[in-house]
Amino acid sequence: MQGWRTSMEDAHAALLDLDNSTSFFGVYDGHGGQAVSKFCAKYLHQQVLRQEDYSAGDIGNAAQKSFLRMDEMMCGQRGWRELAILGNKMDQFSGMIEGLIWSPRGSDLKGINDNWSSEEGPHSNYDGPTSGSTACVAIIRNNQLVVANAGDSRCVISRKGQVYNLSKDHKPDLEAERERIYKAGGYIHYGRVNGSLNLARAIGDMELKRDKTLPPEKQILTANPDINTVELCEDDDFLVLACDGIWDCMSSQQLVDFVREQLKTESKLSAICEKVFDRCLAPTSGGEGCDNMTMILVQFKKPESCPSTSHSSDLSNDQEVPESN
């Protein structure tokens, strides 16, 4: 739902069949424009599939490398052109016509060739976008659920009606984020990184990632995601991924309670998402409920019995996924 905003900067991806045993869901909350969120929705899951770690069964590492790969792909001639097209800014980019009619060498525009940086052209020195996007991704293979998150979009699961956060919101005031920002030469002003962004991790925003002496995960802003792996079991009801347009208006538990109540009378999941948006949407412009809103609701249907749950220790509140037998 675009809501009261003048444009829709969110994007999402929902693939029940990423391959024959894996599903992929992603929510991308753009800021400064729609180009980076759309870029992630188009390419991030493709990059997960390309990773050697994915073929080896290490979905978490594959997801992490794919997040960082987005920043690399958005630089240079090919990244510049793709972002211009996705952002509907062909008439606003200097030299856009030149870039469109110029015939590139060393790359396949259909995406078969993954060596993006090899393409030469008028914008080969393009440093990447000044806009950006959060990325919150859930990948399900059999009973394994892997959540990768960078930014303040959020993934939660309902287990017997109790909510458990599977990601944490990367805000600048978190100790680990604040420490990285300062060490990289940045600052926090009124809760915003360098007085600009009110989140501490994101894909894009390359002006905050220009220290060539630092690796990507130690820049002022980083696309490096937290990875959380859990085992699904019979107690799990549903999974929700949503941007902060939802979480600004409802707590994790409030959303789970609302969805559970709707499921009693409504079987169409998209209709439930619409009701959540209507519940959050402000009656007039101004204040909470005016942001773009995107939500993916994944209902579980009798998964196999699960072994003990493994989880990371840095969830966004004290309510972690419990061990189950």
Calculate the average pLDDT of the chain.
Answer: 86
**Residue range(s) defining the domain that contains residue 161:** 10-74+129-299
In angstroms and rounded to an integer, the radius of gyration of the C-alpha atoms of the chain is: 20
Which residue stretches of the chain are H helix?
A: 35-50, 52-55, 59-73, 76-86, 96-101, 175-183, 244-247, 252-263, 269-280
In a domain, 173, yes or no: yes
**In terms of DSSP bridges, do strands 192-193 and 203-204 run parallel, antiparallel, or are they unpaired?**
unpaired
Looking at per-residue confidence, does 273 or 315 come out higher? 273
221-244 pLDDT, tens digit each: 999 999 999 999 999 999 999 998
Helix %, strand %, coil % of the chain (to 5): 30, 20, 45
Say yes or no to pLDDT of 103 above 60.
no
The answer to whether the CB of 321 falls within 8 A of the CB of 309 is yes
**Has residue 88 been placed in a domain?**
no
Provide the domain count of the chain.
1
- Does residue 279 lie in a domain region? yes
Residue 109 within any structural domain of the chain: no
User: What are the residues facing 231 on neighbouring strands?
Assistant: 144
pLDDT (0 to 100) of residue 1: 81
pLDDT on residue 9: 83
55-101 pLDDT tens trace: 999 999 999 999 999 999 999 999 999 999 998 765 444 444 444 44
Residue 158 covered by a domain = yes
CATH number at residue 253: 3.60.40.10
For position 210, what pLDDT does the model report? Answer: 94
User: Tens digits of per-residue pLDDT, 265-301?
Assistant: 999 999 999 999 888 876 776 667 667 889 999 999 8
Average pLDDT, integer, range 156-172: 96
Beta-carbon count within 10 A of 182 CB: 12
Residue 113 falls within a domain, yes or no?
no
Q: Is residue 141 part of a domain?
A: yes
Establish if 61 belongs to a structural domain: yes
Residue 183 and residue 222 in contact, taking contact as beta carbons nearer than 8 Å: no
